[in-house]
Amino acid sequence: MSVAERIDALRAELDEHNHRYYVLAQPTISDRDFDALLQELTKLEEAHPEFRSPNSPTQRVGGRPLVGFRTVKHAVPMISLANSYDLAEIRAFDKRVRGLLKNQSFQYLVEPKIDGVAMSLRYEQGQLVLALTRGDGREGDDVTANIRTIGSIPLTLRTPHPPEVLEVRGEVYMTRKGFVKLNQQRETAGLPVFANPRNAAAGSLKLLDTREVAKRPLDAIWYGVGEMRGIDFATHRELLNGLDELGFRTPPLTRDCPDLPTMEAALEENLNARNHYPFEMDGAVVKVNERTLYGELGNTAKSPRWAIAYKYEPEQVETRLLDITIQVGRTGVLTPVAELEPVRVSGSTVSRATLHNWDEMQRKDVRIGDTVLIEKAGEIIPAVVKVRIEKRPSDALIFPEPDACPVCGGPVSKREGEVAWRCENLQCPAQNTRRLQHLASRKGLDIGQLGSVVADALVEKKLIAHPLDLFALALDDVAPLELGTPERPNTFGRKNAQKLLEGIQQAKELDLQRWIFAIGISNVGESASIDLAKHHEDLQSFLDSDLIRSLHRDIQEVDTAIQQMKEELNPRTRLTPTTPQAEVTSILEEYEELRSKVEEILTRWSDRGFVTLTTKALKKTDRGLPIPSYNFSSNITTSVLEACRAFYDSDQGATWLRKALEFNLNPTRSAGDSSPSGKLSGKKVVFTGSLEGVTREEAKQTLRDLGATISSSISKNTDFLIVGENPGSKLEKANELGVAIVPYHDLIDPKAEPQSETTQVLREQLDLFDS
Ligand code: IVH
């Protein structure tokens, strides 16, 4: 036997034993014999590096650390499931499916919903070549090296005739036991613990050290497919059996359900089994079994119409409320937090829960010493749902409204129309830490080394009084930072400090949109930041923007004028049959004057793409006088304008500008934002209806990347209306206004057959596809 043959034989044998051990849980050799085979293979591969392969069983123990994760586009987007919480919704789903499928016969299949991390594995010619996280559904992180360490995942499909391409989809999870053990180890080591098994699994998959990943108790279950070439399955049952044969672990407890009653029984059975498996289940999934009918059923923007998740009600548990503390957020909002007697709920131990605000606290009549009901639903922070008044001790204490900030002692106030109390002191250290964390967050300047502990330490050591002070940090300031406790010291160190400073330097190169988001102005989220960046050259011009100030002023004026036209100057209320003619004339004149002023202002802003002008005629009884109105064409709306304005006028805002100048920070708009080169540059598009295979957000981003501006309402300035299924009234409007109507895929997918001549012509005119 040649070396190559021996290597092949060993690999096949080891793969087989791995499968028996991890997937079937029926090992047929001892660990010792297994190790001996693995040893032999390792030696042969070391001696003959030309035969090394990433899918060799020797690679499961992990290897060289990774530098990072590249993002890769999914061949088929990873969409999600619609959720339902009661049988009524399930029955409605059944009715909908039956309606769509008319008289065709079909069955359902019920399987558990596994609470893990969604993953897509790509096999080409039977070899694992790529493992991607879901990411945003359109593209995910390449975690292949980490996935290879999971024993139950086949590195090579168990078939002599592998298909050309097979993408397998499922969940990677951490076992409950493994999770508890890992947290115990972390606690002893002084490391932060994971909140639940899902976070632990997600955290493990993001480790750069594959050897470390190999030690984590990860496993996986597979229930779906993405791209397939040279293989197909007619039903979901066949798919599960097929995956099983190819070497994958598939869900336990799957039931074929010919009708609604059997399906309901299967859901009940699933719920009862919830704690019997080593992984967390957060519900069941009902799928139409016949895959051949999926095309007919189609997808909504976010999820397929052939499946629905039946989620368990979040578990609620009782515990005692020992104390109430106050947390101060980035924008100064004070949040009362319940300090609880630790309890386990939905798979994790909870000792704190949010009480939201004082109004809520009063409404629920929460007092210190009460017995309360708490719940944790998915990602959401645990919340106090209810007080068990009957268990209230006589000495339970009402928690008073705050009279000062608990962190800095500064004044607190409540803004008109808001329920939240805020700390007024913009230099409050609590706000500084949160602002700093927000600045460094992934959607902001993405400075990985700057987590909450480091942020706290920087503020506490008075190295940072304003987020931009980051740019004045020196290695010697940061390296000695103490992050631990006196009992468990943990110094930041030169290496980490160096990385932090590198991250800070890199942030200077990020584009304007990220910087605007990073400032953390209230109401200015990601979408508003994108739109604000389009209208500003660079950071410094945004930090005191005449454009925003004047738009804000004009919008206020317009709003007041429109209000006046509707009320005081409304001919209906002002004019009676006995009003003297002279007064009629003067009122009408005044009205006309206001109207033309408003229209003049709005036209100016509409030409610049901020608003769209609509003119509604008042009803007949109002003498048919037209009254102007408008919509915002982008995410720069009144609340964004007000927040920017308040920011410019605050000390915080002034300091941003001063420091940006001082540190010479002036990131500019990236090419992508204004996209002079984008094929859709300058085009205004509006969406209606649900799109197949992509979410609305993803679709918007794709078009933005091509340079288009997305508006929410249609006008004669709109270039195209992108239509999906079940379009709304915008479709009629587009027809009325003669706006081009384009199916999304016609515009972005070179493989899509254009559905009309208009879109064919558009494609050519815009020269969208090179070939
Ligand atoms: S099917 C196109 N089946 O739950 C539909 N998903 O909340 C693909 N999940 O995105 C999903 N167990 O990550 C399906 N048996 C199961 C599942 C399951 C868990 C996850 C999956 C999905 C999410 C939706």
pLDDT higher for 441 or 571?
441
Q: What is the pLDDT of residue 261?
A: 95
**pLDDT band, very low/low/confident/very high, at 169 (cuts 50, 70, 90):** very high
Which atom of ligand 1 is the closest one to the Cα of 113? 12
What's the mean per-residue pLDDT of the chain?
Answer: 87
**pLDDT band, very low/low/confident/very high, at 510 (cuts 50, 70, 90):** very high
* Cross-strand bridge partners of residue 224: 169
Supply the DSSP symbol for 142: B
Q: Which of 38-42, 194-198, 220-224 has the lowest mean pLDDT?
A: 194-198
**pLDDT band, very low/low/confident/very high, at 433 (cuts 50, 70, 90):** confident
Both tokens of 217, joined, read 């108790």
Q: Which of 340-354, 523-537, 653-667 has the lowest mean pLDDT?
A: 340-354
Q: Which of 93-102, 186-195, 221-230 has the lowest mean pLDDT?
A: 186-195
- Provide the 10 A C-beta neighbour count for residue 196: 20
Distance 163 CA to ligand 1 centre (A): 24
Q: What is the pLDDT of residue 673?
A: 45
- Provide the 10 A C-beta neighbour count for residue 37: 17
pLDDT for 723 beyond 60: yes
**pLDDT band, very low/low/confident/very high, at 191 (cuts 50, 70, 90):** low
Distance 80 CA to ligand 1 centre (A): 6
360-377 pLDDT per residue, tens:
899 899 999 999 999 875
Mutate to test the pocket of ligand 1, among 93, 168, 171 (most ligand atoms within 8 A of CB): 171
- Identify the residue whose C-alpha is closest to ligand 1 atom 22: 80
Both tokens of 54, joined, read 């990433």
| CA–CA separation, 192 and 185 (whole Å) | 10
Both tokens of 376, joined, read 């944790």
Find, among 124, 176, 119, the residue nearest to 346 by Cα: 176
Q: What is the pLDDT of residue 380?
A: 47
| CA–CA separation, 475 and 367 (whole Å) | 48
Q: Which of 159-173, 326-340, 685-699 has the lowest mean pLDDT?
A: 685-699
Q: What is the pLDDT of residue 274?
A: 81
386 classed as catalytic: no
**pLDDT band, very low/low/confident/very high, at 381 (cuts 50, 70, 90):** low
Strands 333-345 and 348-354: antiparallel
Which atom of ligand 1 is the closest one to the Cα of 117? 13
Ligand 1: does its nearest atom lie under 6 Å from the Cβ of 81?
yes
Could you tell me if 243 and 250 are in contact, meaning their C-beta atoms sit under 8 angstroms apart? yes
pLDDT for 694 beyond 90: no
Q: What is the pLDDT of residue 483?
A: 85
**pLDDT band, very low/low/confident/very high, at 624 (cuts 50, 70, 90):** low
| CA–CA separation, 290 and 296 (whole Å) | 11
Count the helices and strands in the chain (H runs, E runs): 28, 26
Could you tell me if 108 and 257 are in contact, meaning their C-beta atoms sit under 8 angstroms apart? yes
Could you tell me if 221 and 250 are in contact, meaning their C-beta atoms sit under 8 angstroms apart? yes
Q: What is the pLDDT of residue 674?
A: 44
Distances from the Cα of 151 to the Cα of 62, 172, 199, 591, angstroms: 12, 12, 20, 77
Find, among 256, 315, 329, 313, the residue nearest to 108 by Cα: 256
Both tokens of 256, joined, read 């074929």
Strand-by-strand arrangement of the 709-711 sheet: 709-711, 684-688, 720-723, 740-743
Q: Please pick, among 73, 95, 113, 391, the residue that the annotation labels catalytic.
A: 113
Q: What is the pLDDT of residue 378?
A: 46
Ligand 1: does its nearest atom lie under 6 Å from the Cβ of 222?
no
Tell me the torsion sign for CA atoms 493, 437, 202, 701. Answer: negative
Which residues fall within 8 angstroms of residue 391, CB to CB, at 6 or more apart? 370, 371
285-344 pLDDT per residue, tens:
999 999 999 999 998 878 999 999 998 877 789 999 999 999 888 778 898 999 999 998
Mutate to test the pocket of ligand 1, among 113, 168, 270 (most ligand atoms within 8 A of CB): 113
Ligand 1: does its nearest atom lie under 6 Å from the Cβ of 693?
no
638-691 pLDDT per residue, tens:
989 999 998 998 888 999 999 999 999 999 887 444 444 567 776 788 888 888
Find, among 93, 147, 98, the residue nearest to 118 by Cα: 147
Q: What is the pLDDT of residue 623?
A: 61
CA 245 from chain centre, in angstroms, equals: 35
Three-class secondary structure assignment of 599-648 = HHHHHHHHHCCCEEEEEEECCHHHCCCEEEEEEECCCCCHHHHHHHHHHH
Q: What is the pLDDT of residue 671?
A: 45
Distances from the Cα of 191 to the Cα of 62, 489, 679, angstroms: 22, 12, 49
**Mean pLDDT calculated for residue range 403-418:** 87
What 3-state DSSP class applies to 590?
helix
Which atom of ligand 1 is the closest one to the Cα of 116? 19
Distance 222 CA to ligand 1 centre (A): 10
Q: Which of 112-116, 136-140, 248-252, 347-351 has the lowest mean pLDDT?
A: 347-351
pLDDT higher for 365 or 190?
365
Ligand 1: does its nearest atom lie under 6 Å from the Cβ of 79?
yes
**Mean pLDDT calculated for residue range 45-57:** 92
Residue type, 361: M
- Provide the 10 A C-beta neighbour count for residue 765: 8
Supply the DSSP symbol for 60: G
pLDDT for 486 beyond 80: no
| CA–CA separation, 91 and 85 (whole Å) | 11
Q: What is the pLDDT of residue 741?
A: 84
Distance 750 CA to ligand 1 centre (A): 29
Ligand 1: does its nearest atom lie under 6 Å from the Cβ of 251?
yes
| CA–CA separation, 259 and 613 (whole Å) | 53
pLDDT higher for 540 or 564?
540
| Phi, then psi, of 356 in degrees rounded to 5 | 65, -75
**pLDDT band, very low/low/confident/very high, at 379 (cuts 50, 70, 90):** very low
Which atom of ligand 1 is the closest one to the Cα of 112? 15
pLDDT for 97 beyond 90: yes
Q: 62-101: b or e for each residue (b if 16 or more CB lie within 10 Å)?
A: bbeebeebeebebeebbbebeebeeeeebeebbeebeeeb
Q: What is the pLDDT of residue 622?
A: 53
Which residues fall within 8 angstroms of residue 209, CB to CB, at 6 or more apart? 62, 65, 66
**pLDDT band, very low/low/confident/very high, at 725 (cuts 50, 70, 90):** confident
